[in-house]
């Protein structure tokens, strides 16, 4: 519309277009930066100390895992699978659980699931291990959503070297859960032992990557 108001309208429209374009020029790069940050965030699940010589680690002790689930034996089951899988790689020697228990008693470690750096250094001397692995089982068991159900496991692990008590590696893994197929067709998901092995395998892969 060509009148004072129309001219004003056109001017406003042009101005608004220009404003919008400026917004686009500012907002779009911001969005791209944010997206790239989130992409980096997915790799943040694993920490690896670049200064650590992992080749020097030959013997490790796997401490009792912390159990944050309702299943009382979850931590023991996952720990057993972890020890056997780690041994089976042949890359590290894992001390027997009885030996670790002896070290915990000797070292008077009050909280074996979450040992302090001083405890770790003490254990290293008693057990003659170059590193200690601790872990936490966050989820273990069945979950339900409506009429669908499946097994899920979520765990994390850390490796602490025994010279200084410093964390040199940490990672986490979550497996199982209710898939689209479970929702549509039922089935109960994969057996607990299977997904436990998968989760442990993923952790060990992250350790040796």
Partner 1 sequence: MPGVLLSGLALCFCLAACGGFRQQPAPRGAPVASIAVFPLENLSGSAVPLKSIKTSLSEELRQRGLHLLEEDTLERFMAKHRVRYTAGIDEEIAHALKEETGVEGALLTSIELYSEGVVPKIALTSRLVSTGDAPTILWVDGVGMAGDDHPGILNLGLINDSRVFLRKALGMIGESLASRMARKEGRRGTAKAERKFRPRIAYRSDLEGEQKYTVAVAPFFNKSDRKNAGDVLVLQFVRALHGLGNFEVIEPGLVRKAFLNMRIIMDEGVSLEDAQALFAVLGADLVLGGEVLDYQDYQGPVGVAKVNFTVQLIERKNRMVVWSSESYNQGDDGVFFFDWGKVNTAHAMAIQMADSIGGMLVKR
Q: Contact residues for partner 1 (CB under 8 A)? A: 64, 73, 76-77, 80-81, 83-85, 87-88, 90, 93-102, 105, 193, 197
8 Å CB contact between 167 and 47: yes
Taking the complex as a whole, how short is the minimal distance between the CB of residue 157 and partner 1, in angstroms?
17
Taking the complex as a whole, how short is the minimal distance between the CB of residue 97 and partner 1, in angstroms?
5
Nearer to partner 1, 83 or 137 (CB): 83
8 Å CB contact between 106 and 99: no
C-alpha dihedral (139, 144, 149, 154), degrees to nearest 10? -10
Q: Can you say how many angstroms the Cα of residue 172 is from the centroid of all Cα atoms in its chain?
A: 2
Taking the complex as a whole, how short is the minimal distance between the CB of residue 26 and partner 1, in angstroms?
55
Nearer to partner 1, 24 or 101 (CB): 101
Taking the complex as a whole, how short is the minimal distance between the CB of residue 88 and partner 1, in angstroms?
5
Nearer to partner 1, 15 or 88 (CB): 88
Taking the complex as a whole, how short is the minimal distance between the CB of residue 38 and partner 1, in angstroms?
36
Cα angle for residues 60, 62, 67 (degrees, 5° grid): 160
Nearer to partner 1, 24 or 88 (CB): 88
Nearer to partner 1, 7 or 70 (CB): 70
- Give one DSSP letter per residue of 125-190, joined into a string: HHHT-SEEEEEEEEEEEEEEETTEEEEEEEEEEEEEETTTTEEEEEEEEEEE---HHHHHH----S
């Amino acid at each position: 519309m060509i009148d004072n108001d129309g001219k004003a309208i056109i001017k406003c429209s042009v101005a608004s277009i220009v404003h919008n374009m400026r917004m686009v020029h500012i907002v779009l790069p911001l969005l791209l930066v944010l997206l790239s940050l989130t992409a980096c965030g997915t790799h943040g699940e694993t920490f690896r100390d670049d200064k650590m010589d992992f080749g020097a680690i030959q013997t490790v002790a796997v401490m009792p895992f912390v159990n944050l689930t309702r299943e009382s034996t979850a931590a023991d089951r996952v720990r057993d699978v972890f020890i056997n899988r780690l041994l089976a790689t042949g890359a590290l020697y894992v001390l027997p659980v009885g030996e670790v228990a002896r070290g915990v008693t000797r070292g008077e470690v009050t909280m074996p699931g979450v040992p302090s750096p001083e405890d770790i250094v003490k254990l290293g001397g008693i057990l003659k291990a170059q590193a200690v692995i601790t872990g936490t089982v966050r989820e273990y068991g069945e979950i339900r959503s409506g009429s669908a159900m499946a097994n899920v496991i979520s765990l994390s692990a850390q490796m602490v070297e025994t010279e200084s008590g410093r964390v040199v590696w940490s990672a986490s893994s979550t497996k199982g859960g209710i898939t689209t197929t479970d929702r549509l067709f039922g089935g109960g998901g994969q057996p607990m032992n299977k997904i436990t092995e998968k989760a442990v395998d993923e952790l060990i892969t992250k350790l040796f990557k």
